């Protein structure tokens, strides 16, 4: 089952890990950039995660 919700600060480590897997270091957003985004636009920043039973 999939869960779609607004991103939370608790998601930060996993979010940065995914970003670094998908983009070259020069293009990837930094941890600090994600912290700012989460705090300022969390209502428009969605997180999709598979729920494990």
The pLDDT tens digits for 5-23 are 999 999 999 999 999 999 9
Look at residue 53 and tell me whether its pLDDT is greater than 80. no
Please state, in angstroms and rounded to a whole number, the distance separating the CA atoms of residues 33 and 50.
Answer: 25
Domain enclosing residue 43, as ranges: 2-50
**Per-residue pLDDT tens over the stretch 18-43:** 999 999 999 999 999 999 999 999 89
Structural domain count of the chain: 1
For residue 48, the 8-state DSSP code is: E
Please state, in angstroms and rounded to a whole number, the distance separating the CA atoms of residues 19 and 22.
Answer: 5
What local confidence, expressed as pLDDT, does residue 4 receive?
94
């Amino acid at each position: 089952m999939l869960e779609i919700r607004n991103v939370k600060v608790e998601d930060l480590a996993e979010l940065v890990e995914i970003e670094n897997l998908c983009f070259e270091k020069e293009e990837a957003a930094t941890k600090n950039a994600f912290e700012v985004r989460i705090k300022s636009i969390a209502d428009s920043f969605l997180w999709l995660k598979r729920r494990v039973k």
